[in-house]
Amino acid sequence: MKIVWKRYDKNGPGSVKMIPEETDDLWIAYNLVSRGDIVMAVTVRKVLREGASGGRDAERVKLKLEIKIESVDYDKEGSVLRLRGKNILQNEHVKIGQFHTLEIERHRPFVLRKDVWDSLAVDALQQAANPAASADLAVAVMQEGLAHIFLVGKSVTTTRSRIEASIPRKHGPGIAGYESALNKFFENVLQAFLKHVDFNVVRCAVIASPGFTKDQFHKYLLLEAERRQLRPIIENKSRILLVHTTSGYKHNLREVLDAPTVMNLIKDTKAAQEVRALKEFFDMLSNEPDRACYGPRHVEVAHERMAIQTLLITDDLFRNADIPTRKKYVDLVSSVKDLGGIALIFSSMHVSGEQLTQLTGIAAILRFPLPELEDIEM
Amino acid sequence: MPRKVKYGVDFDIDEEDDDDVWTDYSDNESNVEVEEIENTFKADDCTKADDCTKAGIWRCSICTFDNDEGIVACDICGVFRHPMVNIHSNGNKEAAVPNKFNACPSDDFVSSSNHFSKVTLKDNFEELSSSEVVRNKEKLNVKPKTSELESSFVQLEKDEQLSICENTRSSAVEAKSENMMCSLDKQSVGADSKCSTNQIKAEIATRRSQYRPEKWMNGNQEGTLMQLNLAIVGHVDSGKSTLSGRLLNLLGRISEKEMRKFEKEAKLKGKGSFAYAWALDESAEERERGITMTVAVAYFSSKKYHVVVLDSPGHRDFVPNMINGANQADAAILVIDASVGAFEAGMDGSRGQTREHAQLIRSFGVDQVIVAINKIDVVEYSKERFDSIKGQLGAFLRGCGFKDSFLTWVPISAMENQNLVTAASDVRLSSWYKGPFLLDAVDSLQPPIRDVSKPLIMPICDVIKSRSVGQVAANGKVEAGALRCGLKVLVMPSGDSATVRSLERDSQPCDIAKAGDNVVVCLQGIDVSHVMAGGVLCHPDFPVAVATHLELKVLMLDVAAPVLVGSQMEFHIHHSQEAATVVRILSLLDSKTGKVSKKAPRCLTAKQSALIEVMLDGAVCVEEFANCRALGRVFLRAYGKTAAVGIVTRVL
Ligand SMILES: Nc1nc2c(ncn2[C@@H]2O[C@H](COP(=O)(O)OP(=O)(O)OP(=O)(O)O)[C@@H](O)[C@H]2O)c(=O)[nH]1
Ligand SMILES: [Mg+2]
């Protein structure tokens, strides 16, 4: 995200002009804009005009609008943000109070005005502007007969391709069928890999699987690259990593991000922090169950006792909340920080965030055991 | 959830004349789609093979077998050697065995499928009509319980009664309770649809209970042995494939010539000790690494059984394949590596597969296990070692719910051929071991109970599309009912119907396949792409459910990471596998009584048993455990370990 200028008081009103550069930034913008905010951007609107002949012509005109937001919609597929609200800027084509939907796409600047820039919004903005926080990893998670290709960005993981094939058993008369089906499957994965992995964008590409599938595919990929002179693959051979996972489903992405070789590359990124924190939470839950809790009620109690060491919370909770609830969570985050704890806001568009969302969206690792939580209804 | 339900047709009319049903069932003669196998790949390999000549050997241009320098014509197919091939003088010494995971496979290897010679044993035996073979299950349950784990396993099995009650409840009541439990977020679809699915469910359940098998299904099959699906399981490298290969060789299923060929090839690859394993490890990758990756199926006959060998992979990464391919087992041989350190590695809490496999086969429903303590040659046929392993492992197996009386302990050496199909010849073993040899122990297994009189259910383990078979064929074990040529079956989950064109058992055509039989079913009148592994062949009037939302009763295994609402796991059921999310933890159950001990716990930890709900990413064919055990057993895995085993209590 490019921040053009910012004029705001912390916990006070102000505006920021920004330009989303990557698709990821749209997700950040999505989390930043909430109901009641004011957004100004250039847009195109169809207007009706009296034509010379007396008939009415529809014409598309470019104009600058400022709208008070009523709803925000994020389109993951098309990578656009749709902001709907009432116009507040007098204009020759659009009356004040008329509804309009602004479409924010990459490279399209806009100004966001908020009554209150709370600490969360400020943090999100800072993070968005920090290029080091971006993971930009391409990952192929596979097992025999199933493969997914993911792009892991700063705060969004997208599934670019899913390849499925039925591979017959290797034995008896089917042995030739097995090997040709496996090769066909690898070919399909290779095609998807070529299409979706852009080495100019990603730091590295990971091939992950249980067993030997990753090695087999890696071999196939390099052989075919030589044979067909696939420059991007040949030139970036050294940027392809192999990682062991325990199966080939999407949720195994957590094992990829946690693998030492990958972790080394991305340790400062949001995605990596999230994976580590969630893993810590689960480890705590299995080793010292009284020092881990989840669910709003339990976390609240733990906070009252000043027990929270690490707070894990998804951006979902803030975004979908009404103003008082959002304020409650913002206060929780800052007060955990004030007490020397860590607060991590998970992107619900990453695997770990997805999992945290399933787990009520909020969890905490505690400084000391709170066995009494067991008896409090969740 | 698309379901095809045929109403009104009662299947339990006493058929005086079989032929009536017959004509009714074979009226559909549609076109058969034939998928051709691609030969290009193989051909490719052949040319590649031709080009490269290894030092000291020459490769036959026809069968690709690697022959020794001195031989003029191919050892296998008799083809003369190409006159232009270079002759190198130094032989290829056996290379050091590479590390399994880092091994760099050479790419000119061509696998050759082997054809086991067919042996028809016409031994005299007692024909056991499957419906008569009923072991008293109740008796098993009365025995004193030795540990918590055991009783919870038993508890899982006992569930049947409870669920049957639930099924016969009126649909209205069920719909009501369903609605009450419905949380706000997943409403809207309305009670109506719920109600009607329940009605269908109830209807199928009643019809299922009224189902009467047809006459032909119970007919005796003269001259055939009862099939026994025998899983060979155990920790990696314990010698499962070597043992299986040995047995096949000793029982005449692999000829000496083939054996010599394996030996030679294995030696050339620097894997001389894996010669017997090569009979089962057929893919290039497996042979290269000396590791079994997917379950291999082979057949041999003992005195009493026609044994279907399911040689499982032992490596931790391939446990999913082991579950997928071996869950149809009736009994199992648990192979233990007796050498010092190896047995201990297999028993390691979090990394040893001896434990994991034992727990898995228990939850496959296997109760009879032969524990083959292999590589006893390595420990000088020591009785002390045998006894010490038996002591430690015995305690663990009892903890898993196995009964002492159903365990047989046999010391063997697959390598030295000791105590396999005859009593041990080495005095170091025969001096102290007086029990049965391995094959004897197999013959002493009790015949498994078969559900012949229920409507047909056959989970599809593998689909074969090849020219030689003519059309699409499904391979699997008939779990309930029976099949015969001309029968019309429903193929789930697609819901299409097909006609059985022919049946094959151990590559031999047969007329009828009954519950328990592992068969290849050639189908006609169906789109090839609609038959898939993980699907089910069933009786047209009794379609199995296809669902994504299930209620399960699970038992957490002892090494499991905690399971919470939102936990993402791999879900295994018969031959299918899906990603799953735990959406609700309903209650903790007391492992002794099975009663609810705590409602809505915040998480599940090791050894607990509980009622949970899961949501799958994709639909699977499933039945409540009470209706069909094979389609109601589930296995949940996460982080490379089996976290929980369980049964389906409700299809939601
Ligand atoms: N000394 C000795 N070695 C044996 C014996 N049985 C098997 N082996 C050796 O053990 C090694 C592993 O044998 P496999 O049969 O591949 O083992 P496996 O259990 O099938 O292994 P996976 O399928 O990969 O789990 C081979 O090198 C065998 O030669 C035995 O009785 N004695
Ligand atoms: Mg093996």
**DSSP structure string for B131-148:** TT----HHHHHHSPP--H
CA of B380 to the centre of ligand 1 (A): 17
Query: Do the chains contact at B297 and A357, CB–CB below 8 Å?
Result: no
DSSP conformational letter for A237: G
B-chain residues near A175 (CB < 8 A): 111, 113, 282-283
**Domains in chain A, please, with CATH?**
2-129 (2.30.30.870), 137-266 (3.30.420.60), 270-373 (3.30.1330.30)
CB contact under 8 A, B562 and A285: yes
Q: What is the per-residue pLDDT across B129-158, written as a single tens digit (0 to 9) for each?
A: 433 344 444 344 434 444 444 444 545 544
Residue B55: what pLDDT? 56
Q: Residue B163's pLDDT is what?
A: 39
Q: Is the Cβ–Cβ distance between B645 and B634 less than 8 Å?
A: yes
B292 and B349, same domain (yes or no): yes
Question: Of the ranges A85-99, B403-417, B459-473, which one carries the lowest mean pLDDT score?
Answer: B459-473
Per-residue pLDDT at B30? 37
Closest CA to B537 of B445, B449, B631: B631
How far is residue A121's CA from residue A28's CA, in Å, rounded to a whole number? 10
Question: Do residues B357 and B461 both lie within one domain?
Answer: no
In a domain, B306, yes or no: yes
pLDDT at B167 over 90: no
Residue nearest to atom 24 of ligand 1 (CA): B291
User: Do residues A307 and A367 touch, judged by C-beta distance below 8 A?
Assistant: yes
pLDDT in tens, B531-561: 889 999 999 989 999 999 999 999 998 866 7
User: Contacts of residue A179 in chain B, CB cutoff 8 Å?
Assistant: 41-42, 111, 283-284
Q: End-to-end alpha-carbon separation of chain B, Å?
A: 11
- Gap from CA of A202 to ligand 2 centroid (Å): 40
Distance CA B533, CA B326 (A): 14
Judge if B550 and B477 occupy the same domain.
no
Task: Return the pLDDT at B443.
Answer: 93
* Residue-level pLDDT at A310: 94
Strands (E) in A89-172, as ranges, are 99-104, 110-114, 137-143, 146-152, 157-164
B514 and B550 co-located in one domain: no
How does the average pLDDT of chain B come out, rounded?
Answer: 74
Q: Which ligand is nearest to the CA of B414?
A: 1
Q: What is the pLDDT of residue B29?
A: 35
The CATH number of residue B617's host domain is: 2.40.30.10
| Position B273, amino acid | S
Cβ–Cβ contact A71 with B under 8 A: no
pLDDT value at position B411? 95
Tokens of A26: 């749209």
CB A145 within 8 A of CB A163: no
For chain A, the straight-line distance linking the first and the last C-alpha, in angstroms and rounded, comes to 39
Q: Which of B289, B567, B570 sits opposite A249 (nearest CB)?
A: B570
pLDDT at B187 over 70: no
Q: What is the pLDDT of residue B192?
A: 47
Query: B290 and B392 in one domain?
Result: yes
Instruction: Say what the pLDDT of residue B205 is.
Output: 64
**What is the rounded distance in angstroms from the CA atom of residue A7 to the CA atom of residue B125?**
93
Q: Over range B76-83, report the average pLDDT.
A: 46
* B509 in the same domain as B409: no
Contact A178, A169 (CB under 8 A): yes
pLDDT of residue A336: 92
Contact B282 A170 (CB under 8 A): yes
Helix residue spans in B364-519 (DSSP H): 383-400, 427-430, 438-443
B376 and B277 inside one domain: yes
Nearest residue in A to B615, CA atom = A358
B323 and B382 in a single domain? The answer is yes
Are residues B550 and B530 part of one domain? no
- Interval between CA B100 and ligand 1 midpoint (Å): 13
Query: Within chain A, which residues score under 70 in pLDDT?
Result: 50-56, 78, 131-135, 170-175, 320-321
Q: What is the pLDDT of residue B183?
A: 39
Same domain, B248 and B331: yes
Query: Could you tell me the residue range of the domain that residue B354 belongs to?
Result: 226-444
If asked whether residues B242 and B388 sit together in one domain, one would say yes
**Chain-chain contact of A169 with B111 (C-beta, under 8 angstroms):** no
CB B286 less than 6 A from any atom of ligand 1: no
Could you tell me the sign of the dihedral formed by the alpha carbons of B66, B67, B73, B77, in that order?
negative
Among B503, B538, B573, the domain boundary falls at B538
Within a domain: residue B499?
yes
Q: What is the pLDDT, as a whole number, of residue B35?
A: 37
Q: Does any domain span residue B346? A: yes
Is the backbone of residue B641 left (phi > 0), alpha (psi -120 to 50) or beta?
Answer: beta
| Whether the CB of B197 sits within 6 Å of ligand 1 | no
- Say whether pLDDT at B465 is over 80: no
Of the residues B486, B520, B538, the one at which a domain ends: B538
3-state secondary structure B527-596: CHHHCCCCCEEECCCCCCEEEEEEEEEEEECCCCCCECCCCEEEEEECCEEEEEEEEEEEEEECCCCCCE
Closest chain A residue to B315, measured at CA:
A211
Does the structure show a pLDDT above 80 at B446? yes
The answer to whether the Cβ–Cβ distance between A169 and B461 falls below 8 Å is: yes
What is the amino acid identity at position B234? Answer: G
SS3 B615: strand
- Bond before B493 cis per omega within 30 degrees: yes
Closest ligand 1 atom, residue B236 Cα: 25
Outline where chain A has alpha helix (H). 23-32, 119-129, 175-196, 213-228, 231-235, 253-258, 260-266, 270-287, 296-304, 315-319, 323-338, 351-358
Ligand 1 atom with the smallest distance to the CA of B280 is: 20
- C-beta neighbour count of B171 within 10 angstroms: 18
Which of A177, A282, A358 is nearest residue B581 as measured by Cβ atoms? A358
Residues B496 and B471 in one domain: yes
Cα-based angle B494, B449, B157 (whole degrees, multiple of 5): 75
DSSP string, A72-94: EEEETTTTEEEEEEEE-S--SSS
Residue B245 CA to ligand 2 centre (angstroms): 10
In-domain check, residue B329: yes
Domains of chain B: total: 3
Please state the rounded mean pLDDT for residues B513-525.
89
Q: Is residue B555 part of a domain?
A: yes
Q: What is the ipTM of this complex?
A: 0.80
Residue B332 lies in a domain: yes
**CA distances from residue B343 to A221, A294, B234, B237, B529 in whole angstroms, order as listed:** 39, 41, 10, 11, 45
**How far, in Å, from the CA of B417 to the mean position of ligand 1?**
13
**Separation of alpha carbons A40 and A66, rounded Å:** 4
Q: What pLDDT was estimated at residue B196?
A: 56
Asked whether residue B20 is domain-assigned, the answer is no
Q: Which helix (H) or strand (E) holds B259?
A: helix B256-268
Q: How confident is the model at residue B197 (pLDDT cuts 50, 70, 90)?
A: low
Interface test with B, best of A167, A218, A251, A288 (most B CBs within 10 A): A251
Classify the phi-psi angles of A289: left when phi > 0, otherwise alpha if psi is within -120 to 50, otherwise beta: alpha
> In sequence order, what are the beta bridge partners of B549?
B615
B570 pLDDT higher than 90: yes
Least CA distance to A223: which residue of chain B?
A: B107
Question: At which of B383, B416, B444 does a domain end?
Answer: B444
Alpha carbon distance B64, B46 (integer Å): 7
For B221-271, the pLDDT digits (tens) are 556 788 899 999 999 999 999 999 999 999 988 888 988 988 988 888 888
Q: How many Å lie between the centroid of ligand 2 and the Cα of residue B235?
A: 10
- Which residues of chain B make contact with A177, given a CB cutoff of 8 A? 37, 464-466
CA distance to partner chain B, nearest, from residue A329 (Å): 21
Tell me what the mean pLDDT of segment B619-638 comes to. Answer: 92
Predicted pLDDT of residue B467? 57
Beta bridge partners of B290: none
Banded model confidence at residue B121, pLDDT cuts 50, 70, 90 = very low
d(CA A128, CA A22): 10
Give, for ligand 1, the residue of B353, B373, B415 to mutate: max count of ligand atoms closer than 8 Å to Cβ: B415
β-pairing, A308-314 with A362-366?
Answer: antiparallel
Nearest chain A residue (CA) to B278: A171
pLDDT of residue A215: 93
Dihedral, B176, B177, B179, B184 alpha carbons, nearest 10: 150
Residue A358 is predicted with a pLDDT of 86
Nearest ligand 1 atom to the CA of B312 is: 23
Beta carbons of B200 and B3 less than 8 angstroms apart: yes
Q: Tell me which chain A residues have a C-beta less than 8 angstroms from the C-beta of B460.
A: none
User: What does pTM read for this prediction?
Assistant: 0.76
pLDDT tens figures, B291-335: 999 899 999 999 999 999 999 999 999 999 999 989 999 999 999
Answer whether residue B62 is part of any domain: no
Phi, psi of B481, rounded to the nearest 5 degrees: 75, -155
Interchain pair A378, B113: CB under 8 A: no
Calpha distance A201→B617 (Å, rounded): 30
pLDDT (average), residues B87-111: 40
